Amino acid sequence: MILSGKAMVAGVMGWPVGHSRSPRLHGYWLESYGIDGTYVPLPVPAGKVEQALRALPVLGLRGCNLTVPHKEAAAKAVDRLDPAARRIGAVNTVVVHPDGSLEGRNTDAFGFIENLREGAPRWDATAGPAVVLGAGGAARAVVAALLDAGVPEVRLANRTRARAEELAADFGGPVTVMPWEWRGRALADAGLLVNTTTQGMAGQPPLEIDLATLPPSATVTDIVYTPLVTPLLAAAKRRGNPLVDGIGMLLHQARPAFHAWFGLMPQVTPELRRFVLEGL
Ligand code: ATR
């Protein structure tokens, strides 16, 4: 793509940022919609994110995404937060307004629920409890999305119980904390199982969980997408449970950000999915 002098510029701040799929993802959309714009990796070390964010309006950038380790620090650095970012306590998208002020948003909850609805159209939020494993930043976005979708109960289990207790206290509502050792037992009448831990990621041991009591109709999803079929998803597949892999959350969380910066709500297509997976 050849840019004009009026090209719109956005990017992703992270450290390291070299592994990020976002330039490939946004680049695909910019190219396929013929937009005069670009999306670049921005290697910003820990501790420098406020300085880097304040440079965005000075340089005329539209905004940026934030990835590890900047999501929480960005929430403190911006001028205001949208309701999702405030609730989740982390910012994955910054929008520069015409007056130069910075708005922090969080589109991870949107990405999670859109991916789930697309991948498991028969999943009914109200049909049963959702079991969520993990209590990090990703879990906070997942719990926010599930409560908004109307699940009757979220059962939360985390290796470090105190983190799960904190998450439950922050969110209020029907979130109950289960001991990590009971994670298998929490599945008995569940309608959904979500892994938000790093277990099952390439280089990590598989998530250990006994799926014996999980109803065959329950949907199983993993936010890990390297590998695309995690040991958890493979085990659920053998039992015949409906599955949703994690790459779609990455693709869908990018849509509202692209819309905010470049003015068009892009679509997730099978070609885009293939294109982003090829880069993994
Ligand atoms: P993210 O923001 O992507 O969610 P995170 O905050 O580092 O990342 O959270 C990682 C999650 O994986 C946590 O829930 C973590 O559990 P702890 O809170 O006990 O650290 C979980 N996790 C990491 N390694 C784990 C392991 N070996 N067994 C079980 N859970 C693990």
Q: Residue whose CA is closest, atom 24 of ligand 1?
A: 198
Residue pointed to by tokens 């449970």: 241
Estimate to the nearest angstrom the gap between the alpha carbon of 239 and the chain centroid.
Answer: 26
Whole-angstrom Cα distance, residue 15 to residue 145? Answer: 27
Domains 8-107+248-278 and 123-241 share a fold: yes
For 8-107+248-278, the fitting CATH number among 3.40.50.10860, 3.30.110.30, 3.40.50.2300, 1.10.3720.10 is: 3.40.50.10860
Is residue 242 within 8 Å of 253, Cβ to Cβ? no
Structural domain boundaries of the chain?
8-107+248-278, 123-241
Q: Residue whose CA is closest, atom 18 of ligand 1?
A: 160
Instruction: Compute, in angstroms, the gap from residue 163 CA to the centroid of ligand 1.
Output: 10
Whole-angstrom Cα distance, residue 263 to residue 140? Answer: 28
pLDDT at residue number 279: 72
pLDDT at residue number 269: 97
Instruction: Compute, in angstroms, the gap from residue 140 CA to the centroid of ligand 1.
Output: 12
- Catalytic residue of the set 6, 48, 71, 76: 71
For the beta sheet containing 192-195, the strands, ordered from the edge strand earlier in sequence to the opposite edge, are 175-178, 154-157, 130-133, 192-195, 219-222, 243-244
The full DSSP string for 215-271 is -TT-EEEES--SSSS-HHHHHHHHHT--EE-SHHHHHHHHHHHHHHHHS------HH
CATH topology of domain 123-241: Rossmann fold (3.40.50)
Q: Residue whose CA is closest, atom 6 of ligand 1?
A: 136
Instruction: Compute, in angstroms, the gap from residue 204 CA to the centroid of ligand 1.
Output: 11
pLDDT at residue number 228: 95
Does the annotation count 71 as an active-site position? yes
Q: Beta-carbon neighbour count of residue 265 at 10 Å?
A: 10
pLDDT at residue number 1: 79
96 Cβ neighbours under 8 A, 6+ residues apart: 56, 57, 61, 62, 63, 102
Q: Return the ligand 1 atom nearest residue 134 CA.
A: 14
20 Cβ neighbours under 8 A, 6+ residues apart: 12, 14, 41, 67
Estimate to the nearest angstrom the gap between the alpha carbon of 272 and the chain centroid.
Answer: 17
Nearest to 62, CA basis, from 87, 96, 27:
96
- Binding site membership of 138 for ligand 1 (Cβ less than 6 Å): yes
- Binding site membership of 198 for ligand 1 (Cβ less than 6 Å): yes
Instruction: Compute, in angstroms, the gap from residue 61 CA to the centroid of ligand 1.
Output: 33
Q: Return the ligand 1 atom nearest residue 90 CA.
A: 2
Is the pTM for the entire model greater than 0.85?
yes
Whole-angstrom Cα distance, residue 9 to residue 4? Answer: 11
- Binding site membership of 139 for ligand 1 (Cβ less than 6 Å): yes
Is residue 137 within 8 Å of 90, Cβ to Cβ? yes
From first to last of its 280 residues, what are the pLDDT tens digits of the chain?
A: 799 999 999 999 999 999 999 999 999 999 999 999 999 999 999 999 999 999 999 999 999 999 999 999 999 999 999 999 999 999 999 999 999 999 999 999 999 999 999 999 999 999 999 999 999 999 999 999 999 999 999 999 999 999 999 999 999 989 999 999 999 999 999 999 999 999 999 999 999 999 999 999 999 999 999 999 999 999 999 999 999 999 999 999 999 999 999 999 999 999 999 999 997 7
